[in-house]
Chain A
């Protein structure tokens, strides 16, 4: 198929960027969106032009590096997929596709479509861990009984790949879905209780410091999340936060 691409080009963090038009032909419906971008870059290379920079790594929907706001939605129009898992058959011959970087003050553009998502790392570092003794005397995992439902829910929360689509989709660029998933994966398990009070307070503080917006419960994040992280996580984070505030 033949497509017109409107792509955000920006030389570096300090330059002003702009949308540029590119025509592309010979795109197969079975290609992934990133493979389409590869074709575009090959064409640009052959013409001696600067290729479009974009993030990617695993290309199998597990690492969370690929991003891209495609036609106004993070990871494009499909549901529960990352951009690398989005197929070109979701588009039609002759379509114009707008491709932009994820937009948030806390996600500054590094170049073209690549944004700096280390704000997420700093939120994680602020409390997204447990202290365990790894000296070689590790306890048998089965010695701590865990309710099946809690184990399942913790697992669903831990499925977050930190891609940032929730922030990109949110009208307020709020990072509450990500942060709440990272808090929930510990809050649901007995191992997470020791540091529970500090964890939620420190991670929420870091989230606020990074300049993300506030949740308005529009639910856009949940819809756009490639891993189906649920809004229940945000409610759980708020509960954890309120109880931590009371406990000190």
Chain B
């Protein structure tokens, strides 16, 4: 059993499981966010539910944060190990001859996504925590829609968000399909899995980008 924690394969599986978990979270996050475009009232009530339901706040939210931390920490650990596995570099290394750029640069797209997560937490989560627990404001189930749309008023923020979604798409284009291979799934369903993961990897970030741009172009006028 000990190998299950320290071996190369175990590390890979942790990477894949945490990645898949984040992919599911991303889908759920998208479903809530898209309501801010099509049904602002639904967006308000769902956001309020997520913000005040104890199960979400005290169980799911910590699990999510742990998922990001585990995925990040393992990504860094693997990167260090992988760099150490080749101490003398090639004078000429033609990586593009046999593998895609995105598959070779998961650490770069991953770190950009992490930087984005920092900004995103600052924008929404820190604000929420301050609103609820520090300023101890009363519950207001109608504020979320307006607050969200206002966030996308500055062009800079909108551009940064959209660019980050682009890199997230690159990360997922390799990562989502790769996690199936890591977990040992490579069979007659793999072509279908590849297609599904590609559609998801492009579609979900594209959807997020659409929401950001939509709110930027349709500010609330009082």
Contact = CB atoms under 8 A, between A and B. Distances in A.
Contacts of A100: 90-92
A215 B81 CA distance: 11
B82 A171 contact: yes
Interface in B48-91: 78, 81-82, 84-91
Query: Which of B85, B104, B183 has the most C-beta atoms of chain A within 10 angstroms of its own C-beta?
Result: B85
Interface string B88-99: 111111110111
Contacts of A98: 91-92
A103 B8 contact: no
B100 A218 contact: yes
Contacts of B86: 103-105, 172-173, 213
B12 interface: yes
Nearest to A17: B88
A71 B94 contact: yes
Interface string B151-171: 000000000000000000000
Contacts of A6: 91
Contact of A207 (B8, B13, B104): B8
B184 interface: yes
B3 A218 contact: no
B11 A214 contact: yes
Interface stretch (A31-39, A43-51, A80-88, A240-248): A240-248
A192 interface: no
Interface string B118-150: 000000000000000000000000000000000
Interface residues of B, number: 40
Size bin of chain A's contact surface? 35 or more
Given A242-B13, A245-B4, A106 B100 contact: no
A236 B184 contact: yes
A112 to B, nearest CB: 14
A220 B12 contact: no
B85 A104 contact: yes
Given A242-B184, A245-B4, A212 B85 contact: yes
Interface string A83-116: 0000000000000001010011110010000000
Contact of A69 (B90, B174, B178): B90
B35 interface: no
B108 interface: no
A220 B82 contact: no
A41 interface: no
Contacts of A201: 3
Contacts of B8: 174, 176, 204, 207-208, 212, 214-215
Contact of B178 (A169, A213, A217): A217
A12 B8 CA distance: 31
B95 A171 contact: yes
B9 interface: yes
Given A238-B182, A241-B9, A211 B84 contact: yes
Contacts of A215: 8, 12, 182
A172 B85 contact: yes
Interface string B1-35: 10110011111110000000000000000000000
The 7 closest A-B CB pairs, nearest first, are A72-B94, A213-B85, A239-B184, A235-B186, A172-B82, A218-B99, A223-B98
Given A215-B182, A217-B103, 18 more contacts: A69-B90, A72-B94, A73-B98, A77-B97, A106-B85, A171-B95, A174-B82, A201-B3, A213-B86, A215-B12, A216-B106, A218-B100, A218-B103, A237-B9, A238-B184, A242-B9, A245-B3, A248-B1
